[in-house]
Structure 1
Amino acid sequence: MYSFSGTNIDPAVRTISIATIQNNTPQGPAYLTQRFTEDLKDYFQQNTNLQIVPRDGDLQFDGNIVAFDFAPASIQQVDGVDQAGSNRLTIQVRIRFTNTKDDKQSFEQVFQNFDDFPASRNIATINSDPNAVRTTTTKIITDIFNKSVANW
């Protein structure tokens, strides 16, 4: 069955459970675990008719954040000294997806995305700006959604 949101969900699938996606890295803001998990739930609620249940859903997600890296993305010379021209935030999330109605669609995969920031922004300013991190995590959530229910 196809829908206007681009999903390809079997009509027998009615529920979804999303376990807390833990941050297993020493980096990242304190709110990352809760924000990522809630944003993932919200995305599925907005784009499907599936009912979210605490556990044992027809579709099940669990996983963890495995990388949260902030490093120079480009180097430029200023007065003969190499400096970061921009900084890149890269986040990786390992997701285990189980489709209890069709195990062939189940998978485990690491999803990664990044955003570049001006050299004037350091990791402290990025972590204290919820929208900066959310831009990167939203891209990852879209990729998870597309892989699991849109079959892209």
Structure 2
Amino acid sequence: MKKIILSLIIISALISCKTYSFTGGDIGNAKTIQIDFFPNQAPLVEPNLSQRFTNDLLKLFINQTRLTQSNSNGDLYFSGEITNYRITPISGTANQIAAQNRLTITINVRFTNKLENKKSFEKAFSYYSDFAANSQLTDNILDNALDEILERITQDIFNRSIANNF
């Protein structure tokens, strides 16, 4: 009897996972995802940012869902552009010199859910990373800042598109 109950619990759990990923995302009946290249249209351009963002976004969806990549006509479709890459001073010293700078990146995303159009949207996602003003935004400092920013932006896009967190 215990085996039957346990089997029913396992089967019902597996059935309920049919449209949900293990991260809580609702992909419905979608099977494919298409993510176009996000060109960098910001006034200040970081050369590898477009490729890195596009790859990070695709990797997140492939790793966190059962979706497969499609080069055209994906059930879930992402396009957009990088619209802002800005470095600004955020805090000063007694000598009116910047003590910290902030790198802010903004990415405009158009999401189309071809199976459930009401879930489609266009939205700008933005995040930042702070670094010491006496540091150059190169090498490890740039890599760490981009890691932090892109992880947050891609997760926000994931949450907004399939986890239904508005």
TM-score under structure 2 length normalisation: 0.83
> In 2 relative to 1, CA 24–126 (structure 1 residues): closer, same or farther, beyond 3 Å?
farther
> In 2 relative to 1, CA 37–113 (structure 1 residues): closer, same or farther, beyond 3 Å?
same
Q: Is 104-113 or 27-36 further displaced after alignment? A: 27-36
Correspondence for 1:7: 25
> In 2 relative to 1, CA 128–23 (structure 1 residues): closer, same or farther, beyond 3 Å?
farther
Specify every segment of 5 or more residues in structure 2 that has no aligned partner in the other structure, as ranges.
Answer: 1-18
1:38-77 to 2 correspondences below 5 Å: 38-77=55-94
> In 2 relative to 1, CA 127–106 (structure 1 residues): closer, same or farther, beyond 3 Å?
farther
- Counterparts of 2:82 and 2:73, CA distance in 1: 22
1:97-136 to 2 correspondences below 5 Å: 97-123=111-137, 125=138, 129-136=142-149
Greater RCO (CA < 8 Å, at least 6 residues apart): 1
Superposition RMSD in Å? 1.6
* Percent sequence identity over aligned pairs: 39
- Counterparts of 1:2 and 1:16, CA distance in 2: 15
- Counterparts of 1:126 and 1:116, CA distance in 2: 15
- Counterparts of 2:125 and 2:140, CA distance in 1: 20
Aligned residues: 147
Specify every segment of 5 or more residues in structure 1 that has no aligned partner in the other structure, as ranges.
Answer: none
User: After the TM superposition, which segments of 4 or more aligned residues of structure 1 sit over 3 Å from their partners?
Assistant: 126-129
Higher strand proportion (structure 1 or 2): 1
Higher helix proportion (structure 1 or 2): 2
